[in-house]
Structure 1
Amino acid sequence: MTRQNPKPLSSRQRLALALLWLALLAVAGWAIGQKLELSGDLRKFMPSAQTPAQKLLIDELGEGPGSRLLLVGLAGADPETLAAQSAAMQAVLAAPARDGQATFAFVANGADSGLDAIPARLRPYRYLLSPTLDNKALDAGLLADELAQRVQDLGSPAASLIEPLLASDPTLETLKLAERWQPANAPQRLHGVWFDRAGREALLVAETTAAGFDPTGQQRAVDAIGAAFAQARGDSASQLTISGPGAFSVEIGGRTAREASLIGSVDTLIFVLLLALAYRSWKAPLLGALPLASGGLAGLAAVALGFDGVHGITVAFGFTLIGVAQDYPIHLFSHQRPGLSPWASARALWPTLGTGVASTCIAYLTFLVSGVDGLKQLAVFTIVGLGTAALTTRFALPGLLDSSDNGGAPRDVADSARLARLWRALARWPRMGATAFAVVATLALAVATFAPGRFWQNDLSKLTPVPAPALARDAQLRVELGAPDVRYVIALEGRDAEAALQASEKLLPALQQLRDHGALAGYDSAALYLPSRATQRARQGKLPERATLQAALDEALAGSPFLPDAFAVFVDDVARARAAPPLGPRDLAGTPLATRIDGLLLQRDGHATALVSLSGLADPVAVAHIAQRHGAQLLDLKQASESLVAAYRQRVLWALALASVLLAVTVWVALRAPRRVLRVLAPMALSTLLILAVLRGLGIELNLFHLVALILAAGLGLDYALFFDHAGDDRAEQLRALHAVIVCSLTTLLVFSLLGLSTIPVLRAIGTTVALGVACNFVLALLIVRRPVGAV
């Protein structure tokens, strides 16, 4: 019994169906846009951390203060002008947001004295936070010396700063804390603000409330700095520099979007021109785009529904990978011919097309067991997208095509004289036998294995598209501002915040010795801002009772120019500090101190980690030794990132191994003949070896994105081989298969060659790999899978 084809549609019906399809795509796009939440958190593409350094790296990558720090430089004008602009920008950026959504946790330019870090409600705690009384007693002798010094201070230029504090703080404990909390290598101050050592550039530092890899939040912060500079600049010739992870992510995102937009536009133009030229019809590009758009939207919808947020990399990668779906309508177009309805043609192609789709989806299905959220998203996007594109090509697109039954006259590409001449030329190519295959495979494997240089690239910094001058500028600003080292950090573990703070306090004297000996230039610890409760209680014990303190104060005031009741507020503050409960991290919420401590004291359920950031680290070995003696660990975040990449790659390689087995099984089930299975799989396997050999021969170290691209290249190669095998030894079918594969390979080759020219390392890795794969797979499919015909 023969299967009946659906009744052919009239021209009006086909137009209505096409418009309905477009309307459904538009509605779907709108609905997905309402649900879609893009994420820029790179941790979604990281495997589970195993070591303490890896866990810290994952935490710091998204939320740590190091990722939120923006470094700002103003240059190009005289110092007075730059100082005024710095002050104006600081005032604007630090002002409370009108909508209550603060963009910056703090903005500093050296203009403040540091007093703002201690809110008024915490001022009585100054003797609990300061180490002054650790070795001294608050008695008449100390007070007399301090009051005598205050008399001199009131006659100095610092009087305006001292006088507001005097009544409540005659020992100036507040100023001592402010000085203690200044950066170890703070820049010099000119005209009241920070400047570089040459005195030609005003410096500011801002910590954003948004995470470093939150593209929307960082864009808002960069825009705010730019607007504040434009407002402060006036008519001067000053210039603005913004650096830091957030600024880099904004620049990378903008450049990636621009290049992706350009490549997407060129891709669309190439697709339209090639299909119009190949099929001599303006309808072909429009109809061919429908399954591709359907697949893209379906993949995006599946990820949006299945995950909390869709990562930007998933979208970028997904639409690149789903580009293989453009081959599906091309195969259908090339196999059209008079006397055969589009439905019959689609049905005849479906076993071959379905096998290719299933094989590619299986390759990405293995990412679902990778344990990496980003790869799971990519797998869902690709599988749903390719499946949708294939199904719409099979069950919807034929209804829109011209055929003899509905008054159309489809052209048979097998009748092309040019294609016949090309086929005769290709037919003279020698077929690759088992011996030649083995020799080429052995040579490729040898080159890939023994080429000089490292095989794998583990350094994430080499994947950054940030230009070298920008990285050098960032390093310069960090040195000038005394910003902490981004590679090394000391970690102290504790069962809770109190234990971690106590451990930090024990380490501080050793760190100071290391600083004195030049092993490091500076350090920063939460214990410098918030002593442990035990230390606070010990300092409370040294505070005299009200009557004792009043008696000592009266004795110190004897013969002093100060009035007897001038320091009543001071006595009240000490009494409150003596009776107050010790401060904990939660008590600092909403204060500038909380911002500093949050990045240095990481608290989790039942566990806390105190961090000590380092600057100017000159002797890592000495610092690591001292840290180990105090039960701490010097963590190398660069090494942690490399080990994380290696673990990630191991997961991907296991996924690829599993995919290879499943792919072979799928082809076996479809073809059921050992020789055909080997013949179809051989070009893909040899192409993979040749790609590796070429890349390694050119000295390119392979990264994770090369691996992902190898899967795409393998999927494309399998399609080419399957359709040449499908053609068998029938000359006309071979010509149609050749036509389809040429159009498919040309569109893919041109698009990915453009990606290979990108300035973005990730896009360049994908583009180069897939372009090589297309070329190798096309040639090898002809040499291995093509069958001789009886007559040409």
Structure 2
Amino acid sequence: MDMAGFLPKGHDDGTRFLLREVQGGVAGTVIMLGVEGAPEPELARLSLGLHTALAGDPQFVSVLNGVFATDQAEALRNLLFEHRYQLAPDNSVRKLDAQALGQAFSNVLDGLDSAAGSVLSDALLRDPTNAFVQTVRALEPDVRVRVVQGVWFAPDRPRALLLLRTQAPGMDLARQAHVEQTITAAFAALHPGSARLLMSGPSVFAVASAAGMRRDVDMMALCSFALVVSILYWRFRSLWVLAAIGVPFLLSLSVAMLVVRLAFGFVHGIAFGFGMTMLGVALDYPVLLIGHRDHGEGPQATLRRIGHSLRLGVATAVLGLTGMVFCGLPGLAQLGVFAAVGLVVAALVTLHIMPRLVVAADLAPHVSGPSRPLAVAEGWRRYRVLACLPVMFCAVALWRSPPLMDTRLTALSPLPEKTLRLDDSLRRDLGVPDSSLMLAVSGQNAQAVLEREEALAPVWAQLQQKGALAGVQEAARLLPSVQMQRSRVRQLPSPAPLQVAIAQAREGLPFRATAFDAFVADVARARQMPPLLPQDMLRTPVGAAMAPLLFARGGQWFGLVFPESVKDHQAVERALAGQPDVLVLDMRKEVDSLSAYHTGRTLRWMAVGCVLAFVVLLVGLRNARRMFRVIGAVGAVQITVLGAFALLHQPLTLIHLIALQFVLGVSLDYALFFARPQLDAEERARTMRTLLTCNAMTVLTFGFLAACQTPLLREIGITVAFGVALAMIYGFLLAGQRPNIGPPDRP
């Protein structure tokens, strides 16, 4: 049920890295929470309650809302204070000569004279150069939140904010669903009243998509079964016919699932739902066999009349699915393979197994032979030129304003617009940096990545001077490399020169000779202290912030760098061109190029399939007039559907192309049966009744997809239902032969 199953592997380094992180990265474990709908004091209470309830739960790596547990805050403060000389980015805090210390001591004296001087006296004397303050400022996240009663709030609205990270991977749907249940239960236990909980993040999207997809699949299984059984019973009035027709369907569904499982390793929920919808199409072939049989007629005689058209229909329908099969998106390729295998198996069963069932139960339509309404309808073919008018109208609309191709991958998003707007809102409130541009720095280990990020510091400084960006978020800002920490420590003087500098700096100031002994001891200890490593930051807010920025994948380490407030993308890309071990990812460009690549690939394979189908028709029909009628009917369907998109200003997406391929196959099937030689009124009536039955099953089952929550299924359902309805109309009017005899006498 995971929508990540519809993502490809990528066609270059950038898209492969991007998709790998989307499916298994640390960023997928982040959940953003918002609480709103009540006064701010009440929202603060709920935020504190959620923090208390979730912080001790082992399902969460971190729960951040501006409040830290007392022991956690104290431990982090002590850690940062001890390592302040290694972490502080400003070299002035390590400049400990007499002149610099004299200015620092004057500032300490001013601080001691302030109202808080008695409370902060020990800290001021131990850290006269404010190294600890510089360290804390460097670690502060660049968020836009305001703090109310100690917790985070949105900057411009009464909304409390929390940021969570889960132990479970973002795409582990079962564990993530349990995480959401835990959050919801914790919120409900706080008696929120009118307040409501907002939740967003990659894992939230995945769980919601899977749940919606399962509901859609269950609905399609039930509705398709009920619809098809009802239509078939109304048409044949025989339970034996229903039982016999169920054989090719069950076999085609089973074999299709097995083939997809063997080819892809799994069967996606959308492919299964699509397979259930194909119930109406996979049954076309046995319905065509039974519907064309007269009582007492041998099934082989029926097959001699329709077998050639049936085989041509199967071959061209399967060739029409080539674009879907070879589009490169695993989920959509599953749809194509599922459909192709299902059609072939249904046809084979109809040709080789169904005849025995037909003879054993003497299966035939409840109503057979010609009728006056059908004969009158056939007379409408005299005015088939009128059917060309909407085709011409749509062709003009296409020529004047062809539908645009929407090659954005977001067009495949399973999420409603409301959900995406909420996600954007929470990201803005929390001050998440602009992710439209991202850098991936690689190295053999974590230290190599941190050193490479530090080497890029002059590039960022130059770009900031030009106004191309405001800054960057990177792991090296939170934790310098071991090499950088050692370099900073080497700037510290040994105890003896430091004592001399302190003595000179104290001259004229009212400090005792021993006032800065603790400061001297801290500096001496810092010179011997081992550097901080990433593992030292685990289970701290700093570690939680570093996790999405520094990680290992497949034995290699990566660091993500997010530029902030990018004003000039091209300037950033030019500045980083040629930098070794640095991959620049314009997120929108990469995602759109990925979709454009697969859209182009789909179009190319569609063209190949259409050419092959044309060759099959040319060889199989061997009749220029019939060929012209079949191609004309199929072309009319495609032009009308595309014209409708143009008139509605609906951009074409990869999903629409997939649906049009399916319409192409069904259109060929109908046109071939209407165009085949039909010697008498009875045969023409049987063809019309049978194709109307097939059309009703397909239109109604695919029409039900329009009620699905999954946009992908909904778009396929609307397009296919509309196209197949047109296929029946144009196939009947344009591909069918005009009768040469008058209407029959019997009703």
TM-score bracket, normalised by the shorter chain, equals 0.7 to 0.9
- Aligned match of 1:474: 423
Counterpart-to-counterpart distance in 2, 1:754 and 1:158: 75
- Aligned match of 1:14: none
TM-score by length of 2: 0.83
CA distance 1:134–1:312, shift in 2 (3 Å): farther
Q: 2:526 aligned with 1:574, yes or no?
A: yes
Q: 2:7 aligned with 1:45, yes or no?
A: yes
- Aligned match of 1:109: 65
CA distance 1:510–1:720, shift in 2 (3 Å): same
Counterpart-to-counterpart distance in 1, 2:465 and 2:698: 62
Q: 2:267 aligned with 1:304, yes or no?
A: no
176, 186, 191: which one aligns with 2:149: 191
Conservation of the 8 A alpha-carbon contact between 1:342 and 1:398: yes
Conservation of the 8 A alpha-carbon contact between 1:506 and 1:630: no
Q: Using the TM superposition, give the Cα deviation of residue 364 of structure 1 relative to its aligned residue in structure 2, in angstroms.
A: 3.0
Counterpart-to-counterpart distance in 2, 1:720 and 1:758: 27
Q: Using the TM superposition, give the Cα deviation of residue 702 of structure 1 relative to its aligned residue in structure 2, in angstroms.
A: 0.5
- Aligned match of 1:697: 647
284-293 or 728-737: which moved more? 284-293
Please, which runs of 5 or more residues in structure 2 have no aligned partner?
none
What's the C-alpha RMSD, in Å, of the aligned pairs? 4.5
- Aligned match of 2:368: 414
AA of the residue aligned to 1:698: L
Q: Using the TM superposition, give the Cα deviation of residue 209 of structure 1 relative to its aligned residue in structure 2, in angstroms.
A: 4.5
Q: 2:40 aligned with 1:87, yes or no?
A: no
CA distance 1:702–1:607, shift in 2 (3 Å): same
CA distance 1:788–1:367, shift in 2 (3 Å): closer
Counterpart-to-counterpart distance in 1, 2:393 and 2:594: 32
- Aligned match of 1:17: none
Conservation of the 8 A alpha-carbon contact between 1:48 and 1:372: no
Q: 2:188 aligned with 1:230, yes or no?
A: yes
AA of the residue aligned to 2:4: D
Q: Using the TM superposition, give the Cα deviation of residue 424 of structure 1 relative to its aligned residue in structure 2, in angstroms.
A: 3.2
Q: Using the TM superposition, give the Cα deviation of residue 746 of structure 1 relative to its aligned residue in structure 2, in angstroms.
A: 1.3
Post-superposition Cα deviations, 1:658-716, rounded to whole Å, max 9, x if no partner, equal 11122223334444444444433432233112211121122111000111001111111
Counterpart-to-counterpart distance in 2, 1:228 and 1:550: 56
453, 465, 487: which one aligns with 2:436: 487
AA of the residue aligned to 2:645: L
CA distance 1:370–1:708, shift in 2 (3 Å): closer
Conservation of the 8 A alpha-carbon contact between 1:259 and 1:758: yes
Conservation of the 8 A alpha-carbon contact between 1:493 and 1:610: yes
Q: 2:23 aligned with 1:62, yes or no?
A: yes
Note the 1:158-169 alignment, pairs <5 A: none
611, 634, 638: which one aligns with 1:661: 611
CA distance 1:426–1:486, shift in 2 (3 Å): farther
- Aligned match of 1:528: 477
Q: 2:387 aligned with 1:426, yes or no?
A: no
270-279 or 259-268: which moved more? 259-268
Q: Using the TM superposition, give the Cα deviation of residue 504 of structure 1 relative to its aligned residue in structure 2, in angstroms.
A: 3.3
Conservation of the 8 A alpha-carbon contact between 2:224 and 2:280: no
Conservation of the 8 A alpha-carbon contact between 1:47 and 1:644: no
- Aligned match of 1:784: 734
- Aligned match of 2:288: 331
Counterpart-to-counterpart distance in 1, 2:278 and 2:119: 69
Counterpart-to-counterpart distance in 1, 2:679 and 2:734: 14
Matched residue SS, 1:430 = helix
CA distance 1:305–1:705, shift in 2 (3 Å): same
- Aligned match of 2:38: 77
Q: Using the TM superposition, give the Cα deviation of residue 627 of structure 1 relative to its aligned residue in structure 2, in angstroms.
A: 6.0
AA of the residue aligned to 2:47: S
Conservation of the 8 A alpha-carbon contact between 2:96 and 2:493: yes
AA of the residue aligned to 2:52: A
Counterpart-to-counterpart distance in 1, 2:24 and 2:727: 44
Counterpart-to-counterpart distance in 1, 2:686 and 2:110: 97
AA of the residue aligned to 1:40: M
CA distance 1:603–1:563, shift in 2 (3 Å): closer
Matched residue SS, 2:635 = helix
69-78 or 133-142: which moved more? 133-142
- Aligned match of 2:512: 559
734, 737, 741: which one aligns with 2:684: 734
Q: Using the TM superposition, give the Cα deviation of residue 276 of structure 1 relative to its aligned residue in structure 2, in angstroms.
A: 1.6
Counterpart-to-counterpart distance in 2, 1:117 and 1:522: 29
Counterpart-to-counterpart distance in 1, 2:352 and 2:576: 67
Q: 2:725 aligned with 1:772, yes or no?
A: no
AA of the residue aligned to 2:697: T
- Aligned match of 2:657: 707
Post-superposition Cα deviations, 1:436-486, rounded to whole Å, max 9, x if no partner, equal 99987665444224216x521123445546444444333332222111223
384, 404, 407: which one aligns with 1:455: 404
Aligned length: 733
Q: Using the TM superposition, give the Cα deviation of residue 425 of structure 1 relative to its aligned residue in structure 2, in angstroms.
A: 2.4
Matched residue SS, 1:41 = helix
Q: Using the TM superposition, give the Cα deviation of residue 139 of structure 1 relative to its aligned residue in structure 2, in angstroms.
A: 7.0
CA distance 1:426–1:45, shift in 2 (3 Å): farther
Conservation of the 8 A alpha-carbon contact between 2:707 and 2:714: yes
Post-superposition Cα deviations, 1:553-581, rounded to whole Å, max 9, x if no partner, equal 9999983898978997x57852542xx3x
82, 88, 94: which one aligns with 1:136: 94
AA of the residue aligned to 1:766: I
Q: 2:173 aligned with 1:220, yes or no?
A: no
Q: 2:702 aligned with 1:752, yes or no?
A: yes
Conservation of the 8 A alpha-carbon contact between 2:460 and 2:472: yes
Matched residue SS, 1:70 = strand
Post-superposition Cα deviations, 1:266-290, rounded to whole Å, max 9, x if no partner, equal 3333212211211123454454344
196-205 or 391-400: which moved more? 391-400
Q: Using the TM superposition, give the Cα deviation of residue 204 of structure 1 relative to its aligned residue in structure 2, in angstroms.
A: 0.6
AA of the residue aligned to 1:414: S
Please, which runs of 5 or more residues in structure 1 have no aligned partner?
1-37
Q: Using the TM superposition, give the Cα deviation of residue 745 of structure 1 relative to its aligned residue in structure 2, in angstroms.
A: 0.7
Counterpart-to-counterpart distance in 2, 1:170 and 1:395: 93
Matched residue SS, 1:531 = coil
Counterpart-to-counterpart distance in 1, 2:464 and 2:242: 68
Counterpart-to-counterpart distance in 1, 2:572 and 2:95: 34
CA distance 1:347–1:179, shift in 2 (3 Å): farther
Counterpart-to-counterpart distance in 1, 2:202 and 2:374: 53
Between the aligned residues of both structures, percent identity stands at 30
Counterpart-to-counterpart distance in 2, 1:218 and 1:701: 34
Post-superposition Cα deviations, 1:368-391, rounded to whole Å, max 9, x if no partner, equal 544443344333322333233333
CA distance 1:253–1:399, shift in 2 (3 Å): same
Conservation of the 8 A alpha-carbon contact between 1:187 and 1:194: yes
Counterpart-to-counterpart distance in 1, 2:106 and 2:338: 70
CA distance 1:421–1:560, shift in 2 (3 Å): farther
Note the 1:332-347 alignment, pairs <5 A: 332-341=289-298, 345=302
Conservation of the 8 A alpha-carbon contact between 1:146 and 1:171: no
Counterpart-to-counterpart distance in 2, 1:491 and 1:126: 28
